[in-house]
Amino acid sequence: MDLNYSAEETAFRDEVRGWLEHNLPDDLRSKVLEYRELSKDDLRRWHQILARKGWVAPDWPVEWGGTGWNVVQRYIWEEECGYAGTPPLVAFGLRMCAPVLFRFGTDAQKQRYLPKIYSGEEFWCQGYSEPGSGSDLASLKTRAIRQNGHYTVNGQKIWTTLAHYADWIFCLVRTDPTREKRQEGISFLLIDMKTPGITVRPIHLMDGGHEVNEVFFDDVKVPAENLVHEEGKGWTVAKYLLGYERMGTGRVGMCKRELARLKEMATRQMKDGRPLLDDPRFRDRLSRVEVELMALEITNLRFLDQLRGGRPPGADVSLLKIKGTEIQQALTELMMQVAGPFAPVFRPVDADAGFDAFTATLAARYCNLRKATIYAGSNEIQRNIIAKATLGL
C-alpha cells in the first residue's frame, strides 16, 4: 500500500494550505487556538468565506454546491483545516440535515432549505435528546398532533447544542403513542425556531461556557409540509443521520495539531533538569496516543472510501466516535500533565508567570472535553452497537 501523496495530491494540499494562510482571519484563528468562545458572527463569518470560495460543503452533490473532491482531497482538506486552526463549521445543517434532505426530502424541501444552509443564512440545531431519553432515545415523549394542515408540538428537548444560535431545529417527535414498537410512532419535523411557543434556556457547562440548552415547546404550530419522510418513519431518518454525525467526531487534523503542540510543550517543560519529553514514562504515554491517532487516521480513510463508493456509514462508524473522542481526551490529559501548576482552573492569563494564553485556558478545555465521550451517543452505547451489529454478540 502506498501511503504517500501523489504529485497532484501534493499540489492540491499546497493550494489548500496557501488559500487557508491567506483567507483564515487572524482573529478567528487565535480564538480557536487559544480556545476562546466563538460567537455566532464568528462561526457565520468563516462559513460565508468558505461558501464564497465554494468549499463549504465538499461532500454535497456537485449540483448543489459540492466540490466533487475525491476521498483523498476531502481528507487533505479536513487535515489542513485542523492544522490551520479554522473555526468549526456547524455540522447540524451542513452535515446532518442536508444529507437527510438529499436522501428523504421532497424537491420543495430541498429547494427551500439547502441553499440557505449552504450560504450560512440559516443555522440549524438538533432536537433529539430529552430528559430521560438520551441513550434510550426511542422513549422520547415530545408529542406532535396533526390537525388542519399542521402539527401542534408540546414537550422538551435537552442538551441542544447551539440552539441559541439556531434559526431552525430538526426534531424527533412522537406522532403515534399507541404503537407497541416505540420506534414506529416517531416522526422527523423541521421547526422554525422563531415559531411562537418555543423557549430556549441555557445550560452552563463546567468550563463556564454556554453551548448547550434546554428547548421547550408549548403548543408550537408546525406546517405539515415540514414533515420529512413519512409520518411514523422518523426513526429510519434518525438512524441514517446518526451515522453522519459519528463520522464527524474523529477530528484527526485537529488532534495532529494538538499532538504537535503537546510535544512542543513537553520539550520546553523541564523535569529533573531534562525536558519532560525525555522522561520514559511520559514518552510511553505520548507514543501510545500517537500510534492510536495513526490507526484512527487509517480507519477514517477507510470510511471515507466507503462513502465515495456510495455506501452510507454503517454501525462500524461507531469506532471513529469511540477512538476519536478518547484520543482528544488523552491529549488534553497529557497537556495538563505537562503544564502542571501552570494550568489551574480560573487562573487569568499572566505572561510573567511563564504560561501563555493557551495554557491559561487548558483546564477549561480539559473540563469541556469530558463531553466528547457522551455526545453523539455515549461511548458505552457505541460499544453496544459494535457488539451487536458488527461482532454479532
Ligand X SMILES: Cc1cc2nc3c(=O)[nH]c(=O)nc-3n(C[C@H](O)[C@H](O)[C@H](O)COP(=O)(O)OP(=O)(O)OC[C@H]3O[C@@H](n4cnc5c(N)ncnc54)[C@H](O)[C@@H]3O)c2cc1C
188 touches ligand X by CB under 6 A:
no
Q: Which stretch binds ligand X (CB under 6 A): 11-19, 243-251, 281-289, 379-387?
A: 379-387
CB of 169 to ligand X, least distance (A): 9
Residue from 65, 87, 134, 243 in contact with ligand X (CB under 6 A): 134
Only one of the segments 116-124, 177-185, 217-225, 372-380 lies at the binding site for ligand X (rule: CB under 6 A); that segment is: 372-380
CB under 8 Å, gap of 24 or more: what pairs does 98-102 form?
98/57, 98/60, 99/240, 99/241, 99/244, 100/170, 100/188, 100/228, 100/237, 100/240, 100/241, 101/228, 102/60, 102/61, 102/64
**Counting Cβ atoms within 10 Å, is residue 146 exposed (0-12), middle (13-18) or buried (19+)?**
middle
Is 297 catalytic? The answer is no
Task: Cell numbers for 326, please give them.
Answer: 478518547
Determine if 50 is a binding residue for ligand X (CB under 6 A). no
Gap between the Cα atoms of 216 and 214, Å rounded: 7
Report d(CA 185, CA 178) in Å as an integer. 7
Interaction between residue 159 and ligand X (CB under 6 A): yes
Query: Does 154 sit near ligand X (CB under 6 A)?
Result: no
Question: Is position 380 an interface residue for ligand X (rule: CB under 6 A)?
Answer: yes
Binding span for ligand X by CB under 6 A among 83-91, 154-162, 182-190, 273-281: 154-162
The site string for ligand X over 79-118 (x = CB under 6 A, - otherwise) reads: ----------------------------------------
- Point out which span in 56-64, 107-115, 121-129, 296-304 binds ligand X (CB under 6 A): 121-129
DSSP string across 184-244:
GGEEEEEEETTSTTEEEEEEE-TTS-EEEEEEEEEEEEEEGGGEESSTTBHHHHHHHHHHH
Of 79, 122, 130, 245, which one is the catalytic site residue? 245
| Set of cell numbers at residue 352 | 510573567
329 binds ligand X (CB under 6 A): no
Q: Which stretch binds ligand X (CB under 6 A): 49-57, 125-133, 179-187, 268-276?
A: 125-133
Question: CA-CA distance, 128 to 163, in Å (whole number)?
Answer: 12
315 binds ligand X (CB under 6 A): no
Sequence-ordered strand ranges (E) for the chain: 124-127, 143-147, 150-158, 168-174, 186-192, 198-204, 210-223, 227-228, 270-271, 274-275
Is 185 one of the binding residues for ligand X (CB under 6 A)?
no
161 binds ligand X (CB under 6 A): yes
Q: Helices 318-339 & 280-308, crossing angle to 10 degrees? A: 150
**Distances from the Cα of 1 to the Cαs of 5, 69, 137, 298, in angstroms?**
12, 21, 41, 12
Considering beta carbons, is residue 72 or 215 the nearer one to ligand X? 215
Check binding of 303 to ligand X (CB under 6 A): no
> Using the rule CB under 6 A, is 126 a contact of ligand X?
yes
> Residues in contact with ligand X, total (CB under 6 A)?
19
Complex with ligand X: residue 37 or 350, whichever CB lies closer: 37
**Which sequence positions are flagged as catalytic?**
245
Residues that bind ligand X (CB under 6 A): 125-129, 134-135, 159-161, 212, 371, 374-375, 377-378, 380-381, 384
